[in-house]
Amino acid sequence: MTDHPTPSAPGARVNPPFADQRFDTFEQWVNKASSWLTRHPEYNNTEHGEKKGWRGSHFTALCFDSLGRRCQCGKDMMRARDEGAFPVWWIWPDQIVEAITAGRAALSEAGHE
């Protein structure tokens, strides 16, 4: 498996696209992740397992450290802690288009597009 991609500029930081969707410290992630990453207002964030039948929509937040690396498990969070890459932020799948659109608008306003 290859390492996660990072922004092109060495040491460049990625700002959380949504200010209220972030863990400022490793300890905050340990204490709050299970509740914060399962609170989407419209979807359940639970694995359905081997049970049959519809159990609600499955929705999983995508987490990234401030260097733009995907954080999928505790090992990734420990790396972020050890390398000073907090805050770690998350985005719900239904927010991706909104974040891309806002990013493009910001680039356009800055004259980069």
pTM of the model: 0.72
What are the Cα distances from residue 94, in Å, to 17, 25, 32, 72, 97?
A: 13, 25, 22, 18, 7
State pLDDT tens for residues 12-45: 888 888 889 999 999 999 999 988 888 877 776 5
The rounded distance, in Å, linking the Cα atoms of 16 and 65 is 9
**What was the pLDDT predicted at 50?**
63
Fill in the amino acid letter for 27: E
* 52 compared with 81, residue with greater pLDDT: 81
Reported in sequence order, the residue ranges of 8-70 that DSSP labels E, i.e. its strands, are 22-23, 62-64
Burial environment of residue 66 by CB neighbours within 10 A (0 to 12, 13 to 18, 19 or more): buried
